[in-house]
């Protein structure tokens, strides 16, 4: 395969995989460490620029969330939780979204990576930015939801909107991307497109195809409700024509792709039957449009398959073929027993409840909705608001090498050029945090 011209940056915080939601909780940040180990042991880091990401501040998070909510996340700990009984229910924190040690730190890390990815796309520092720790699409302005506390996607899109007139959000998590849809429901600057299981009270319960946006945002929310058992062929049958229509009609200048891996077969919480290749085909298809793209993680609750999926999708971003045999030197090799393969066989747990007729009818309805977008004058006539950098001096402008904090960026670049984590001793050294503002 010819070497790729696509410039891909990849964010990895060595601490992010060490957070725990608590015993028995299906969301396991450890999946990020397992993914990263496969990425390194396949040698994919040689085709990427690896960065330790920026850590978001409370001020950054409050660009979308309420200050009271962020302040609560900053203050609450498993030790002082008794003092917050009222706030817990007010902010929907407790069962699905537990208070755990380092909760706020965790949010600051995955959010910072999405912000910096967006900033690098904005200043044309890359074509694709990858943050597998991000993609927490359920978080709302005033509350946590579905294992998500801070919506790094919304905050990343807000960063992209400084430069990009139209941002397309595509969500292939099995759950509806409700938090992102809600945030941009009234605007045509962002089109949200979510493919998800819908019906029978499947979480979060929204995402009917009649949710199309409102006011100026009417027709700019696209929902593709699916039934259980979606396989590769069925998914392709809807994903490709809908995404092609969306891009043709909307003409986005940047894309955010949420790659939730709970749409894979045999997920602990999901009920689709996608193979890793079938899931990756979505990334491959979007990449072919050559539009600056922020690639994010999301759900995914069978750790070994999440790691396989996001490693494979990293390889798609950099146009590298990977051997089907997993690298034996990954420290998590035993997780992949008994096949030790990147592409294990899919054993469907449920019948595909989506008939060809049903899928065709969805594609048809979406086409009708998207034709309305074509005629929306604001899309046709909108000029580029930010070809020149916006003048507001908030923190991310500090990442510009021409302004202050020059050294911080330099330090990170050095780390990336040394291909950090290439040696086996790297894990032992102390990890120092970048100064956060």
Active site residues: 138
Residue 279: CB minimum distance to Zn ion, A:
13
428 annotated ligand binder: no
Which tokens hold the place of 46?
């040689």
Name which of residues 191 to 220 contact Zn ion (CB under 5 A). none
146 annotated ligand binder: yes
Residue 18: CB minimum distance to Zn ion, A:
22
Check residue 52 for interaction with Zn ion (CB under 5 A): no
Please identify, using beta-carbon distances, which residue of 134 and 165 lies nearer to Zn ion.
134
Tokens 């065709």 sit on residue: 360
Please identify, using beta-carbon distances, which residue of 138 and 189 lies nearer to Zn ion.
138
- CA separation, residue 193 to residues 39, 316, 319 (Å): 28, 21, 25
Please identify, using beta-carbon distances, which residue of 178 and 188 lies nearer to Zn ion.
178
Q: Which stretch binds Zn ion (CB under 5 A): 32-40, 42-50, 152-160, 165-173?
A: 165-173
Check residue 175 for interaction with Zn ion (CB under 5 A): yes
Q: Which stretch binds Zn ion (CB under 5 A): 256-264, 275-283, 398-406, 425-433?
A: 256-264
Residue 236 exposure: Cα atoms within 13 Å on the Cβ side? 12
Q: Tell me the number of residues near Zn ion by CB under 5 A.
A: 5
Please identify, using beta-carbon distances, which residue of 53 and 260 lies nearer to Zn ion.
260
Residue number with the shortest CB distance to Zn ion? 299
Q: Yes or no: say if 177 and 169 are a contact pair by the CB < 8 Å rule.
A: yes
248 annotated ligand binder: no
Please identify, using beta-carbon distances, which residue of 256 and 322 lies nearer to Zn ion.
256
Check residue 245 for interaction with Zn ion (CB under 5 A): no
173 annotated ligand binder: yes
Q: Which of 13, 60, 127, 173 binds Zn ion (CB under 5 A)?
A: 173
Q: Which stretch binds Zn ion (CB under 5 A): 169-177, 333-341, 400-408, 419-427?
A: 169-177
3-state DSSP of the chain: CCCCCCCEEEECCCCHHHCCCCCCCCCCCHHHHHHHHHHHHCCHHHHCEEECCCCCCHHHHCCCCCHHHHHHHHHCCCCCHHHHHHHHHHCCCCCCCCCCCCHHHHHHHHHHHHHHHHHHHHCCCCCEEEECCCCCCCCCCCCCECCECCCHHHHHHHHHCCCCCCEEEEECCCCCCHHHHHHCCCCCCEEEEEEEECCCCCCCCCCCCCCCCCHHHCCCEEEEEECCCCCHHHHHHHHHHHHHHHHHHHCCCEEEEECCHHHECCCCCCCCCECHHHHHHHHHHHHCCCCCEEEECCCCCCHHHHHHHHHHHHHHHCCCCCCCECCCCCCCHHHHCCCCECCCCCCCCCCCCCCHHHHHHHHHHHHHHHHHHHCCHHHHHCCCCCCCCCCCCCHHHHHCCCCCCHHHHHHHHHHHHCCCCCCCCHHHCCCCCCCCC
Residue 3: CB minimum distance to Zn ion, A:
34
Residue span 362-381 as binding mask against Zn ion, x where in contact by CB under 5 A, dash where not: --------------------
Residue 267: CB minimum distance to Zn ion, A:
9
Please identify, using beta-carbon distances, which residue of 213 and 299 lies nearer to Zn ion.
299
Residue 271: CB minimum distance to Zn ion, A:
11
Please identify, using beta-carbon distances, which residue of 217 and 299 lies nearer to Zn ion.
299
Q: Which stretch binds Zn ion (CB under 5 A): 170-178, 210-218, 399-407, 411-419?
A: 170-178
324 annotated ligand binder: no
Which tokens hold the place of 436?
């956060």
Closest residue by Cα to residue 172 from 290, 48, 291, 309: 309
Residue 233: CB minimum distance to Zn ion, A:
22
Residue span 257-296 as binding mask against Zn ion, x where in contact by CB under 5 A, dash where not: ---x-x----------------------------------
Residue 26: CB minimum distance to Zn ion, A:
10
36 annotated ligand binder: no
Q: Which of 299, 307, 308, 336 binds Zn ion (CB under 5 A)?
A: 299
Backbone angles phi, psi at 385, to 5 degrees: -70, -20
Which segments are annotated as binding site for a divalent metal cation?
173, 175, 262
Binding footprint of Zn ion on the chain (CB under 5 A): 173, 175, 260, 262, 299
Binding residues: 96, 146, 173, 175, 262, 301
């Amino acid at each position: 395969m010819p070497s790729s011209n696509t410039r891909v940056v990849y964010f990895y915080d060595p601490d992010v995989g060490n957070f725990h939601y608590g015993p028995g909780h299906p969301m396991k940040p450890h999946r990020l460490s397992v993914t990263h180990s496969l990425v390194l042991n396949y040698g994919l880091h040689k085709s990427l620029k690896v960065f330790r990401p920026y850590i978001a501040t409370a001020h950054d998070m409050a660009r979308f969330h309420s200050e009271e909510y962020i302040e609560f996340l900053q203050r609450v700990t498993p030790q002082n939780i008794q003092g917050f009984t009222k706030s817990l229910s007010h902010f929907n924190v407790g069962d699905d979204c537990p208070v755990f040690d380092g909760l706020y730190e965790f949010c600051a890390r995955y959010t910072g990576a999405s912000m910096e990815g967006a900033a690098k796309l904005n200043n044309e520092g890359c074509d694709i930015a990858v943050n597998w720790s991000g993609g927490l699409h359920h978080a709302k302005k005033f509350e946590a939801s579905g294992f998500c506390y801070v919506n790094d996607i919304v905050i990343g899109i807000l960063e992209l909107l400084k430069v990009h007139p139209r941002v397309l959000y595509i969500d292939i998590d099995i759950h509806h991307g409700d938090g992102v849809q809600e945030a941009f429901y009234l605007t045509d600057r962002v089109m949200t497109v979510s493919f998800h299981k819908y019906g029978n009270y499947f979480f979060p319960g929204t995402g009917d195809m009649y949710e199309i946006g409102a006011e100026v945002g009417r027709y700019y929310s696209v929902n593709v409700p699916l039934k259980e058992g979606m396989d590769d062929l069925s998914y392709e049958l809807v994903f490709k024509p809908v995404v092609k229509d969306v891009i043709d009609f909307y003409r986005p200048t940047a894309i955010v792709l949420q790659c939730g891996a709970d749409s894979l077969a045999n997920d602990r919480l999901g009920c689709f039957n996608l193979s890793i290749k079938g899931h990756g085909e979505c990334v491959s298809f979007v990449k072919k449009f050559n539009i600056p793209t922020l690639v994010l993680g999301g759900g995914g609750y069978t750790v070994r398959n999440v790691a396989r999926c996001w490693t494979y999708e990293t390889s798609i971003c950099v146009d590298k073929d990977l051997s089907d045999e997993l690298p034996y030197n990954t420290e998590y090799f035993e997780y992949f027993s008994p096949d030790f393969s990147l592409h294990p066989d899919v054993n469907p747990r449920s019948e595909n409840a989506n008939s060809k007729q049903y899928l065709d009818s969805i594609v048809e309805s979406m086409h009708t909705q998207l034709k309305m977008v074509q005629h929306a004058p604001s899309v046709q006539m909108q000029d580029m608001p930010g070809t020149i950098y916006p003048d507001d001096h908030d923190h991310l402008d500090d990442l510009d090498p021409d302004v202050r904090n020059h050294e911080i960026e330099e330090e990170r670049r050095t780390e990336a050029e040394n291909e950090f984590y290439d040696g086996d001793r790297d894990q032992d050294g102390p990890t120092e945090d970048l100064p956060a503002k």
